[in-house]
Amino acid sequence: MSSVPRPLSVPEKLAYGLGDFGANLIGQTQITFLLFFYTDVVSISAGAAGTILLVSRVLDAINDPIVGALSDRTTSRWGRYRPWILGSAVPLAVALVLCYTVPDFGASAKVVWAVVTYNLLMILYAANNIPYCALSGVMTDDSTERTSLASWRFVCAMAAALAVNMFTLDLVKYFGRGAEASGYQAAMVVWGAMAVICFAITFAFTRERIEPSPQQQSSLRQDLSDMVHSGPWIALFLLAVLIHVQLALRGGTMLYYFTHYVRRQDPIWRFSPFGLFNGVGLVVVMIGVVLAKPLAKRFGKRNTIQVSLLLSAVFMALFAVVPRDALGPLFALQVLMQLSFGPSIPLLWTMMADVADYAEWKMNRRSTALAFASIVFGLKLGSGIGGWLSGEWLDYVGYMPTGDQSPTAIRGIAATISVFPALALLMGCVVLFFYRIDDRLGQQIQQALRERRSGGQSPAVSESDP
């Protein structure tokens, strides 16, 4: 293997990005619509629905590392990770449809159905997404190229989120003809089919270039020990939890916010206020994603993501004081917040690859998928905690699926999309002070690993080097 990294081609970056377009066609439905679907379509209580989301995410503590360890040990003519992306594609799409299917059961049986189908969806999503995430860590070893790759990925991801947020309710109305249950099911057939096509493109047009040493011998227990004894891994894990607590709090209750808090419900330019609000936000966040590479190159990844989260928290907290009929300030804050938050999205994932490099540098063992899996579990844990908190909080403030909401419930809904998620991001800013892989150390690690892989003698590198 050459010690000089080759730039990735634009078609390959696009092919990789389409994998996350497909994943977000599936994942974004969970963030934006699943809690509402459970409470207002399936008629599951908000508290029970939130608990389902939390328990399922916690179960991924077992599932994600297993998938990571298995994919790290997969050998095939197509690589370690790409076969998982293709093989899980159709089952994942089927699980999505089942998750949004309302069976003709009693109340208790519906809860059981929700638990079973949502957990099936999570298992298959992990089988697809953990290897997909790890793929970026073996397509190139160049940190700048990884940031570029992550930017492509998340522009595609945000485009998928834009489609899901703006058009899902239209698809529900079109296919359901007044029957929400069948409308949601049909809408998920559309998103699932599109996702399968995207996963096939990713499999076909990407390549794996970095392999662990043939002499590498390690057990799952040893690999996990390497992770949990890594300071950068601990910091990044906690950051992933906090960011996704924020995302789940806002994403899971935003539809409630527009349904019960925002007074203006008439269409704007033929779009619903909810759809346009999300659409504007996602377009702006894509601009922020594109800015991640130049900002990180100028100020460093850690500094850029820290400032990004701080500004996002400030603008997010200001949502608490926006009057209920003031759409102008509401949209202005959305633009400022999402533009600030955008750069943090690809940088978080680029830093995961840096953590995998750090572990290989320190322990002389590489477990790319497990490194991603262990932090992706932090994402899922944060999403589960955020979803559970949303459900419990809605119950606590007296939310009722039908009828007018009390002033307490309305204020509670507003707090869930403003003050609470802002606090989570501020805590993430603090955690980043303990993430020690700055750009200088990262470059030293990259050079040492390149020399080690090419058979040369890597220079002595220390975290305390000037």
- 80-95 residue pLDDT tens: 999 999 999 999 999 9
| Domain presence at residue 184 | yes
Average pLDDT over residues 181-198: 96
Position 463 pLDDT exceeds 50: no
| Domain presence at residue 466 | no
Q: Which two tokens stand for residue 27?
A: 């994942």
What per-residue confidence (pLDDT) applies to 253? 87
pTM: 0.71
Q: Which two tokens stand for residue 107?
A: 């109340």
Query: Hey, which residues does 173 pair with through a beta bridge?
Result: none
| Domain presence at residue 399 | yes
Mean of the per-residue pLDDT values for the chain?
86
Average pLDDT over residues 91-114: 92
| Domain presence at residue 459 | no
Q: If pLDDT is split at 50, 70 and 90, which confidence band does 59 have? A: confident
Report the C-alpha dihedral over residues 426, 431, 434, 438, rounded to 10 degrees.
-70
Query: What is the Cα–Cα distance from 386 to 348, expressed in whole angstroms?
Result: 19
The letter for the amino acid at 142 is D
Contacts of 270 (CB under 8 A, 6+ apart): none
Beta carbons of 461 and 377 less than 8 angstroms apart: no
| Domain presence at residue 422 | yes
Q: If pLDDT is split at 50, 70 and 90, which confidence band does 1 have? A: very low
- In terms of Cα–Cα distance, which of 76, 81, 118 is closest to 97? 118
| Domain presence at residue 458 | no
Cα within 13 Å of Cα(15), Cβ side: 17
Query: Hey, which residues does 455 pair with through a beta bridge?
Result: none
Average pLDDT over residues 11-25: 96
CATH number of the domain residue 49 falls in: 1.20.1250.20
Average pLDDT over residues 95-122: 92
Q: Which two tokens stand for residue 359?
A: 């572990």
Beta carbons of 123 and 63 less than 8 angstroms apart: yes
> Cα 140 from chain centroid?
22
What per-residue confidence (pLDDT) applies to 174? 93
What per-residue confidence (pLDDT) applies to 266? 72
Position 240 pLDDT exceeds 80: yes
Beta carbons of 10 and 146 less than 8 angstroms apart: no
| Domain presence at residue 461 | no
Cα within 13 Å of Cα(176), Cβ side: 20
Position 338 pLDDT exceeds 90: yes
- 118-148 residue pLDDT tens: 999 999 999 999 999 889 888 988 878 888 8
Measured CA to CA in angstroms, residue 151 lies from 154, 246, 278, 313, 406 at distances of: 5, 21, 20, 22, 43
| Domain presence at residue 5 | no
Measured CA to CA in angstroms, residue 315 lies from 161, 242, 320, 332 at distances of: 21, 17, 10, 10
What per-residue confidence (pLDDT) applies to 465? 33
What per-residue confidence (pLDDT) applies to 215? 53
- 255-287 residue pLDDT tens: 888 888 887 767 777 777 887 888 888 889 889
Please state the domain count of the chain: 1
What per-residue confidence (pLDDT) applies to 459? 44
Q: Is the dihedral of CA 25, 30, 31, 32 positive or negative?
A: positive
What per-residue confidence (pLDDT) applies to 209? 87
Query: What is the Cα–Cα distance from 219 to 223, expressed in whole angstroms?
Result: 6
Beta carbons of 81 and 371 less than 8 angstroms apart: no
Position 452 pLDDT exceeds 60: yes
Domain that holds residue 72: 10-208+220-453
What per-residue confidence (pLDDT) applies to 61? 64
Query: What is the Cα–Cα distance from 311 to 416, expressed in whole angstroms?
Result: 18
- 36-55 residue pLDDT tens: 899 889 989 888 888 888 88
- In terms of Cα–Cα distance, which of 259, 416, 279 is closest to 338? 279
